[in-house]
Chain A
Amino acid sequence: MNTTGKFGRASALPRSLRVLAGAAAVALSVAACGGGGGAASTSGTGGVWHVGGSMILSGAAASYGSNMAGGMLAYFEDVNAKGGVAGRKIQLDQADGGLVAAQTIQSIKQLSQQNDAIVIGGLLPSSAVLNAKSAIEQAKVPVLLGSPVTSMVRPAMDYVYGGGAPLFGDEAFMQADFAKAKLIQPGQAPRVAFVYQISAESQLWADNIQKLAAQNGWNVVGVESYQVGTTDFAAQAAKIGAAKPDIIFGAFDQSNFAFIKALMASNVTAPLVANQGGPHADQMQQLNYPALYVGRQIVYPTGDEPAVTAYRDLVKKYAPQADVQSHITQYGYLQAKIIVGALQKCGNDCTPAKMNDTLKSTTSIDTGGFTFTPITYSAQSTQGLDSEKFYTWDKASQQVKLLPESYTYKGQAS
């Protein structure tokens, strides 16, 4: 006799499904909160401004999404607490844009069609954004790219604006100029190695560094690249160490910390010139690498300038789960600043098309010291920021220092 027969099955399955469904509901609700999914109240006399956020909310780079959203929410919630824009509150609608094009395209469609976004921010993975070009064109909603794509902002493509990272390809020139000014003696032919995360834009960075090395007579002794989400760098770091470079150039993502730690484990001490994706101020201290330089367009959030203290306070208040030191959180905050500024100019009858016209006519946005230079848009370029200063870790005094010189992309061929 079958003791677990028909009736036994019928009674067991619904219970297991109920528990599973309950667990799924809890998981999804916490996941939404973890992704910074909190939104502004939809109350208010004039309704709400829907701002879309195409964020990386899942996978190996999910912290990007929670940090980007956290930065945006921090600023929007502060604006909402002060009454919103033109009497309306701002609601951040998030969609998982992931790291791949199909997901990014889907998120843009969802945010523009279902959520009626007036502008879409986030948009960090350059390869996916590049492949979502036609979806952006069709959506006809202005987008702010967390990581701008050269071919989309220079010359400027309609509806596309830089909002956050510098162009990786340009950073190669700024990093090289910095190295020539500070680290390389005239006539010297240093051995250089470089390391970059794999993306459309960082490939441009790598190509530019190769060209610059050839132009300047530098000997390239090592080239390493890695996928976002790579979990181990020991072998690649040791390979760089074995090549004995005089200078290392880096175009990093959040893995910078692990990579530099791996370099140190392989006894590498060569000066390392990183781009904006390099270590944050607290990571510089933790690493204690002997000669580390990080090019930035956005200031480290450690000083006591009003723009920086306001940023720290608002993130702490409204998005405590976000990493306040992360440049990605800063990108989100910066995008929110740009969006609010544009909304204020756009007026109460703002539409995506009118928002686009407003951004197009905006030539300069003063960030109040949050970036080293104002954000500038023009008919030729909507990349936003085009110069960097370098922070360094002073091992002797155990302090992060900002070097005074500024390095600007001067339109060199890329």
Chain B
Amino acid sequence: MGTLGAALNGVLLLSAIYALLSLGLVLIFRATRVLNFAAGAIGLVGAYLVYELSTIFGSFYPALVVGIVVAIAFGALIYLGVLSPISGARASIGASTDVGVVLGTIILAELLIAAVPFFAGSRGRPVDVPLPAWQWSAGGLTISSLQIVAFVLMIAVVVGVAVGLRRSPLGLRMRAAADSPRLARLNGISTREVATVTWALSALVSMLGVLLYATSTDLQPASAAGLGAALFPALLLGGLDSIGGCILGSIVLALVQSFSAVYLGGEWMAVSPYIFLLLVLIVRPQGFFGKAEFSRL
């Protein structure tokens, strides 16, 4: 029981971290068909800002509010200032995804990960979220108020985004732009505006994901970048364009990592999600919830 409890320990928090970061990726992929390799790095910038503001304000929550606003603006600016000008290669070279923007996100990730320690130093920043100290322990499993708040926050954000996409006019425009950008433009939808909003939303959820991550360790540029790379098994498991899938994929990823660390050893923790992913993709190439796409040959 102790070992099983240990394997389940931290899964709530880890799932929430992965799910929020994955959500940011899924949103962008749904709206623009772009794989964003800079999710961890963009989240890192926002999280650093919250940390710095919380030391200035002497309080976490006001810093979080300002951080949310700045993260949204930062996401929009990244798209408008950097990625939108790059966009266009998709049409130019007939690619099914925007290769130029994907490359742009890779460069952006490197830039931000180098810029953060350059401006803020490479010292790790401990992030403490002021919450009532409550925890419950049994058989190696400990559940704390932080884990519960993290998981509830993740569910709330995911449900909010999913409902917003389904019900709101903006969500409708985002879906239309994702299905066919050209048709959407012909119907008067500004795909540039849709993409801007999507990047802004994505920056927000990425920041929340990195902040949650920092509560369990500390804020380090390199580890946040590693977090972004670790997400891809969750995304591919869930299906790149499925919000429900990315949640399930994140939970599965967290479980696979935890169980492999406990039952196989720490050296398997990084590789086990990829082994699991390979097995799943052999059986179900589109992931748990992804839509199968067919091409006429």
Cα(A66)–Cα(B261), bound, Å: 30
Q: Is the CB of B88 within 8 A of A15?
A: yes
Complex CA–CA separation, A13 to B89 (angstroms) = 6
Chain A minimum-CB-distance residue to B12: A234
A227 touches B85 (CB 8 A): no
* Given A27-B108, A241-B6, A322-B122, CB of A235 within 8 Å of CB of B261: yes
| Among B27-35, B65-73, B134-142, B244-252, the stretch in contact with A | B134-142
Q: Which residues of B contact A35 (CB under 8 A)?
A: 114
Q: Is the CB of B113 within 8 A of A320?
A: no
Residue B159 lies at the interface, judged by CB distance under 8 Å to chain A: no
Q: In A217-276, which residues have CB < 8 Å from any B CB?
A: 224-227, 229-239, 241-243, 254-255, 257-258, 261-262, 265-267
Q: Any chain A CB within 8 A of the CB of B179?
A: no
Q: Contact check, B226 vs A60: say whether CB atoms are below 8 A apart.
A: yes
Is the beta-carbon distance between A266 and B118 smaller than 8 angstroms? no
- Quick one: which of A59, A60, A225, A320 contacts B121, CB cutoff 8 A? A320
A16-24, A123-131, A349-357 - interface stretch = A16-24
Which listed residue (A70, A224, A266, A321) contacts B9, Cβ 8 A? A266
Q: Is B257 an interface residue (CB 8 A)?
A: yes
Residue interface mask A184-228, B partner, CB < 8 A = 1? 000000000000001000000000000000000000000011110
- In A18-38, which residues have CB < 8 Å from any B CB? 19-20, 23-24, 26-28, 30-31, 33-35
B97 at the interface (CB under 8 A from A): no
B121 and A322: CB pair below 8 A?
yes
A326 within 8 A of partner (CB): yes
Q: Is B290 an interface residue (CB 8 A)?
A: no
A9 x B91 contact (CB < 8 A):
yes
Given known pairs A62-B221, A225-B265, A257-B124, the reply for A232 and B87 (CB within 8 Å) is no
Q: Does A12 contact B (CB under 8 A)?
A: yes
**What is the predominant secondary structure among interface residues of chain A facing chain B?**
helix
Provide the B204-218 mask, 1 if CB < 8 A to any CB of A, else 0.
000000000100111
**Interface-located stretch among B48-56, B99-107, B188-196, B280-288:** B99-107
Nearest-CB residue, chain A, relative to B260: A235
Are the C-beta atoms of B111 and A31 separated by less than 8 Å? Answer: yes
Q: From residue A74, how far is it (CB to closest CB) to chain B in Å?
A: 13
For A255, the closest partner residue in chain B by CB is B217
Q: How far is the CA of A370 from the CA of B157 in the complex (A)?
A: 50
A4 within 8 A of B: yes
Q: Is the CB of B266 within 8 A of A198?
A: yes
CB distance from B41 to the nearest CB of A (A): 11
Chain B hits for A254, CB < 8 A: 124, 220
A267 to B138, CA, bound (A): 11
Cβ distance B28 to chain A, nearest Cβ, rounded Å? 18
Closest to A18 in B: B85
Which of B2, B10, B88, B89 is close to A232, meaning CB atoms less than 8 Å apart? Answer: B10
Q: CB distance B114 to A30 under 8 Å?
A: yes
Measured between beta carbons, the chain A residues less than 8 angstroms from B275 are: none
Q: Is B295 positioned at the interface, with any CB of A under 8 Å from its CB? A: no
Q: In the complex, which residues of chain B have a beta carbon less than 8 angstroms from the beta carbon of A8?
A: 91-92
Most interface-central of B85, B217, B227, B262 (chain A CB within 10 A): B217
Contacts of A231 in B (CB 8 A): 213, 217, 223, 226-227, 230
Contact with A along B8-30 (1 / 0, CB 8 A): 11110110000000000000000
The reply to whether A227 and B216 form a contact with Cβ atoms under 8 Å apart is no
Assembled-state Cα–Cα distance A323/B220 (Å): 12
Separation of A34 and B139 alpha carbons in the complex (Å): 45
Q: Complex Cα distance A327/B19, Å?
A: 35
Partner of B10, one of A9, A16, A24, A262: A262
Question: Interface of A with B (CB < 8 Å)?
Answer: 4, 8-9, 12-13, 15-17, 19-20, 23-24, 26-28, 30-31, 33-35, 59-63, 66-67, 70, 198, 224-227, 229-239, 241-243, 254-255, 257-258, 261-262, 265-267, 283, 286, 320-326
The 5 A-B residue pairs with the shortest CB-CB distance, nearest first, are A234-B10, A258-B217, A242-B2, A34-B114, A238-B9
- 30 CB contacts below 8 A, A to B, read A12-B91, A16-B85, A16-B89, A20-B86, A27-B114, A28-B110, A33-B118, A34-B114, A34-B117, A59-B222, A59-B226, A62-B221, A224-B265, A231-B213, A231-B226, A232-B269, A234-B10, A234-B14, A235-B9, A236-B261, A236-B266, A238-B5, A242-B140, A257-B126, A258-B218, A267-B135, A267-B142, A321-B117, A321-B121, A325-B123
Known pairs A225-B265, A232-B10, A242-B6. 12 more at Cβ < 8 A? A4-B91, A9-B91, A19-B85, A19-B104, A23-B108, A62-B113, A63-B117, A233-B10, A236-B266, A239-B2, A265-B216, A325-B123
Residues of B in contact with A (beta carbons under 8 Å apart): 2-3, 5-11, 13-14, 82, 85-89, 91-93, 100, 103-104, 107-108, 110-111, 113-115, 117-118, 121-124, 126, 135, 137, 139-142, 144, 213, 216-218, 220-223, 225-227, 230, 254, 257-259, 261-262, 265-267, 269-270
